[in-house]
Structure 1
Amino acid sequence: MNSFLCVWRPQDKQSWQNEYEIYNLSGMRHENLLHFLGAEKRGNNMDIELWLITAYHEKGSLTDYLKANVLSWSELCHIAQTTARGLAYLHEDIPGLKDGHKPAIAHRDIKSKNILLKSNLTACIADFGLAQRFEAGKSAGDTHGQVGTRRYMAPEVLEGAINFQRDSFLRIDMYALGLVLWELAARCKAADGPVDEYMLPFEEEIGQHPSLEDMQDVVVHKKLRPMLRECWQKHTGLTMLCETIEECWDHEAEARLSAGCVEERMVQMQRLNNVTAPEEIVTVVTMVTNVDYPPKESSL
């Protein structure tokens, strides 16, 4: 396995420590989570280097991949499904594992930059520097609500109106997942229409460097979301994806889908890819009709 070394600055020690602790929790080995190999502190307090060693995936982040590539329907389904599977596993509370009890974990910085792609386009979620664990009977600790990347912040995060409970943090992840799914849709060639150049969520509305006030105005006050193109509605699978996206980024946190539900939807979407298209059926029927078979003996 190829490895990747990330060197953290001393001022980011808290994030490094948090990521190290999250990776060392029970049950954190999963195909759709970035594989952790080790961590080290190098040097002294005056000149310290914080190392984090993980698996290396040469295709890089989903952001970088979408900038350079358009997706087939099959590729979109695979990336979406494996991303949702990773997030569903992260969110799940799993007792009784061989190495102990895996708590529910909110990522708190879901974005396409923090999703890496393996050589076969299987997604794995990375960067747990802001992740929050939720263990039964234990306090969530010193939790700050307004964290993450502005562009992907849910309305309640932008408003500073978070209910500091486990499910509230999991729903914040789901809002961000909706934006990532939109990024996938925008770079898919399955619809009968042009594929736009890659853009970040809300880049069309407020540019590449939005302020917190910009995001509050667009997401909270105007309740805008990135545009779902009309041509997407003419493709059965993309129609289902659009419905899923809208249910993920719903303004009301309680109305958002769970990661497990999104994973199930993506499985259904992928099945649509295996259904023979109507024009293909017509072609097959025509071919069969034009073949001369010997008369069939009567069974009567």
Structure 2
Amino acid sequence: LDDFNCYDRQECVSMEENPQVFFCCCEGNYCNERFTHLPDMIGSGNRVKIRPPPRVPSLLNVLVYSLLPLCVLSLALVLALWMYRHRKPPYGHVDLSEDPGPTPPSPLVGLKPLQLLEIKARGRFGCVWKAQLMSEYVAVKIFPVQDKQSWQNERDIFITPGMRHENILRYIAAEKHGTNLETELWLITEFHERGSLTDHLKGNTVTWTELCHIAETMSRGLAYLHEDIPSYKGEGPKPTIAHRDFKSKNVMLRDDLTAVIGDFGLAVRFEPGKPPGDTHGQVGTRRYMAPEVLEGAINFQRDSFLRIDMYAMGLVLWEL
């Protein structure tokens, strides 16, 4: 082969790196009997191309590349939290300029010798205190100002004509304490040492007689709540009321295990010729919701809301 690179070569050596086709040339008899591929050889000389070892990243570089994304993410979260707190009002969408409204006359007006003793329960709309009024123990349900709507609704249900019944929690007064953001809304009712039916069932097993008594008095209270009663003894007519959050936690027990229904923060009245107010379908406690409520297929009629209460009471009876 007439190639300058082939002259004076006694061995057949290929020196191209990563060739598609291996090629070598030499001169002499049987010089190509043994083929050798040496890609590190440079040109026709004998120098060997030495590659530097790969660089090992330093510890500082590893730390920088590992921690930098975490620092950036943390900074972004802190910034987002700061913007959220500065843009969101501290008590939600509450119009503090709007007064919660006058409280109805009560024996506490002018006296108010009320002493809070201990917290008995905490719920979605506030906490319930055991308190002492003169020589009587009472329950004080304290709402934060952002739950003003629930306080107003429960107060309005309690002062509805005809709401006095032996199986309905006895209402005493509603009061407002504090000003502006420190405003607290109090709802004062009778106190029952046994607490709720939930509390009683946690530590006691009811007998068949006790079960029947609790079920009967609880049913009487709910039936009275659902009943539409005309004017009686100078009081106005009592409209039908749907509880909408009936559960064992909202059934109080007297010392003789008589059931008393309370917590009307989500209750709704059905008065002739008047809209029932907020009848949003999916309210209450999910465990006690009827299937049509969970599916969002509720019919917004009076009887539908009453049946939902009955379904919830059936679950309470099952708990017994």
The residue number in structure 2 matching 1:142 is 278
Distance 2:305 2:203 in 1: 32
CA distance in 1, matches of 2:260, 2:232: 21
Check the 8 A contact 1:10/1:48 in 2, yes or no.
Answer: yes
In structure 2, the residue matched to 1:69 is: 204
1:81 aligned partner? 216
Secondary structure of the residue that 2:194 maps to in structure 1?
coil
Quote the residue 2:4 is aligned against.
none
Instruction: Look up the match of 1:115.
Output: 251
The CA RMSD measured in Å over matched residues stands at: 0.8
Q: Please tell me the residue identity of whatever aligns with 1:113.
A: K
Residue 298 of structure 2 is aligned to residue 181 of structure 1: no
The Cα shift of 1:46 comes to 2.1
Whether 2:310 is the aligned partner of 1:164: answer no
The 2-side partners of 1:80 and 1:160 are apart by 29
For 2:181 and 2:200, the matched residues in 1 are separated by: 38
Contact 1:26–1:97 under 8 Å retained in 2: no
Q: Counterparts of 1:22 and 1:53 in 2: how far apart (Å)?
A: 13
Q: Which runs of 5+ in 2 are unaligned?
A: 1-135
- Matching residue within 291, 297, 306 for 1:155: 291
- 2:153 aligned with 1:14: no
Q: Scaled by the length of structure 1, what TM-score is found?
A: 0.60
Percent identical residues: 70
Q: Which has the higher strand share?
A: 2
The alignment partner of 2:157 has SS state of helix
> Using the alignment, how far apart are the partners of 2:192 and 2:308 within structure 1?
27
| Larger proportion of helix | 1
**Pairs within 5 Å for 1:1-300:** 1-98=136-233, 99-184=235-320
SS at match of 1:39: strand
User: Conserved in 1, the CA contact under 8 Å of 2:144 and 2:185?
Assistant: yes
What is the aligned length? 184
Offset, 1:142: 2.9
Counterpart of 1:17 in 2: which secondary structure?
A: helix
Q: Which letter does structure 2 place at the counterpart of 1:129?
A: G
Residue by residue, what CA displacement relative to the aligned partner does 1:69-97 show, whole Å, maximum 9, x if unpaired?
01111100000000000000000000022
Q: Runs (4+) of structure 1 moved beyond 3 Å?
A: none
